[in-house]
Chain A
Amino acid sequence: MGIRDRLSGNEAVAIAMKQINPDVMGAFPITPSTEIPQYFSQYVANGQVDTEFVAVESEHSAMSTCIGAEAAGGRAVTATSSCGLALMWEMLYVAASARLPVTLACVNRALTGPININNDHSDSMGARDAGWIQIYAETNQEAYDNFVQAMRIGEHKDVRLPVMVCQDGFITSHAIENIELIEDDQVKKFVGEYHPENYLLKKENPMAVGPYDTAAYYMEHKKQQAEAMKNAKGVILEIAKEFEALTGRHYGLFEEHMMEDAETAIVIIGSSAGTAKQAVNELRAQGKKVGLVKVRVFRPFPMQEIAQALSKVKAVAVMDKTESFSACGGPLFAETRSAAYDLKNRPAMINYVYGLGGRDVRVEDIEHVYAELDKIVKTGETGEVYRHLSVRE
């Protein structure tokens, strides 16, 4: 019945990997994800797992190693952050289009320019169109739980896509918090064995992976890949239901906090959602009808479901922990506003780019956002749509 512990997010993910005991890990160290392969290599050295740990010379090679291992029929994992993910870029698309369900622990960190080691979502958000499923965590517990669920999702026959399990660098990766672990045998039973239909080492059936695709076939492959991503939505919910039966912990595509009668709401991803929940609770205590939507699954994007969740509110602030330099808002904003287009009564919607490069997000900062939404509701004027939070003017 669960093991009560206190762990950092990185330790928690490394333990999930240990419990899963994958065939191959290809990894290269980069702050703040370094601890994951570091802990895991100890498990390898201690004989606690029989994983082939490949210490590669770059992240491009780490992802290539995972692709090779998956094509051969194995289970492959890796972990990275920031520029490490950027160096994997080319191979991210290869893994996704070759339909190889690699599992990647992404410990979100700002991309360089200017150089910075702290948290924001510019790394994984930049990779949002690479064809990977993306699941985000608010806490160490969620990072662990998401990782345990990830392989079942990616390896499902209707999906066959790689999965990126994201958590916020330092904020959850290096912070110790309470956690409930699942017993080793329960994790093994839940994740199960991987038996792909076809793989390179299936000797009775020689095959070629990743051949050149001419214009006559490329569109069909992309359409098929897009359909797999659509299928992922149902599979994610199916696996979450099984996970809930095992642990009692409920997961959906997103989480709603105090949304039943909310008049204003924010849409947010990751650890700051916890800080925002505290702001919601404090404002609720003052009688303010505020709510929150925490997006767990960004790819596939739960478009209709989010639209439904926002269908009764009057004003929404979408929080982006990344810049996309579109000159009109971040990626979560673009998706969320697009989702709301289909609503009969569309709420007013603004975008806040926040928390870049580790800029701390306090309860007061989130309360300020709700105050701005309140102003929009009262005056009927949306004002500036594309805003930046806690930036010195």
Chain B
Amino acid sequence: MKDIVEIRWHGRGGQGAKTASLLLADAAFNTGKYVQGFPEYGPERMGAPITAYNRISSERCTVHSNIYEPDYVVVVDATLLTAVDVTKGLKAEGAIIINTEKSPEEIRPLLKGYTGKVCTIDARKISEEALGKNFPNTPMLGAVVKVSGVVPEDQFLKDMEESFHHKFATKPQVIEGNMKALIRSMQEVQQA
């Protein structure tokens, strides 16, 4: 149980934070890990703040509660920084990863004195340039893998490519864009 990594996702209904948490669970599962991926459910509405979770470990985790002291927090939409207490319970030795065009230094003052690592990634820009649309999930996933090291990077990229080939079997043109988005986000995520 010692090696367990707990991640909390913040997003807005319709942005795919839940899907991103499930994609991360998939990626970790493919490397032989035990995974949990689950949203915190309520009567969901488009745009309302939502939370999703991941537990990733090398032994089965039997705990079925929400996560209160995450190792990592992922914020899919920067407008949540003022609406939700995103660093609540976040471990100081962990990190927060935020989708924003700003730098970690610019963001840190918004994080209520959080002393751990602050990471930023412009997932919107990467997505629009690589995929032609704002699908922040793929770049966020790349940034989380890079920062957390929860999945070995080369194996992650290999698995994701296979998974995209399977998922987009009928539209192979988007596979390259998704891979580009993943790689770019892993290179461009700023950590401070």
A and B touch in the complex (CB under 8 A): yes
Pick the contact of A278 from B34, B35, B36, B63 — CB < 8 Å? Answer: B63
Pick the contact of A275 from B25, B34, B63 — CB < 8 Å? Answer: B63
Q: Is A252 an interface residue when CB atoms closer than 8 A count as contact? A: no
Q: Using known A-B contacts A6-B25, A6-B26, A176-B22, determine if residue A361 contacts B65 with beta carbons closer than 8 Å.
A: yes
17 A–B contacts from the bound complex (CB under 8 Å): A6-B26, A6-B35, A138-B62, A139-B62, A168-B64, A170-B38, A176-B25, A176-B37, A177-B34, A177-B36, A178-B35, A274-B62, A274-B63, A281-B1, A361-B64, A362-B68, A363-B65
| Residue on B nearest A177 in the bound complex, by CB | B36
Chain B: residues with Cβ within 8 Å of the partner, total of 22
- For A271, list chain B residues within 8 Å (CB): 64
Chain B, range 49-68, C-beta contacts under 8 Å to A:
60-66, 68
Q: Is A152 an interface residue when CB atoms closer than 8 A count as contact? A: no
Pick the contact of A175 from B29, B34, B38, B62 — CB < 8 Å? Answer: B38
Chain B, range 32-46, C-beta contacts under 8 Å to A:
34-39, 41-43
> How many angstroms between the C-alpha atoms of A171 and B26 in the bound complex?
18
- For B35, list chain A residues within 8 Å (CB): 6, 176-178
| Residue on A nearest B54 in the bound complex, by CB | A176
A285 to chain B, nearest CB (A): 10
- Say whether A178 contacts B65, CB under 8 Å: no
- For B39, list chain A residues within 8 Å (CB): 170, 174
Q: Is A117 an interface residue when CB atoms closer than 8 A count as contact? A: yes
B60 to chain A, nearest CB (A): 7
Q: Is A32 an interface residue when CB atoms closer than 8 A count as contact? A: yes
Chain B, range 92-121, C-beta contacts under 8 Å to A:
none
Most chain B beta carbons < 10 A, residue from A138, A176, A360, A361: A176
- For A170, list chain B residues within 8 Å (CB): 38-39, 41
B6 to chain A, nearest CB (A): 12
> How many angstroms between the C-alpha atoms of A178 and B37 in the bound complex?
10
Q: Using known A-B contacts A174-B41, A175-B36, A176-B38, determine if residue A278 contacts B22 with beta carbons closer than 8 Å.
A: no
Most chain A beta carbons < 10 A, residue from B36, B38, B41, B61: B41
- Say whether B37 contacts A363, CB under 8 Å: no
| Residue on B nearest A358 in the bound complex, by CB | B41
B164 to chain A, nearest CB (A): 18
Q: Is A277 an interface residue when CB atoms closer than 8 A count as contact? A: yes
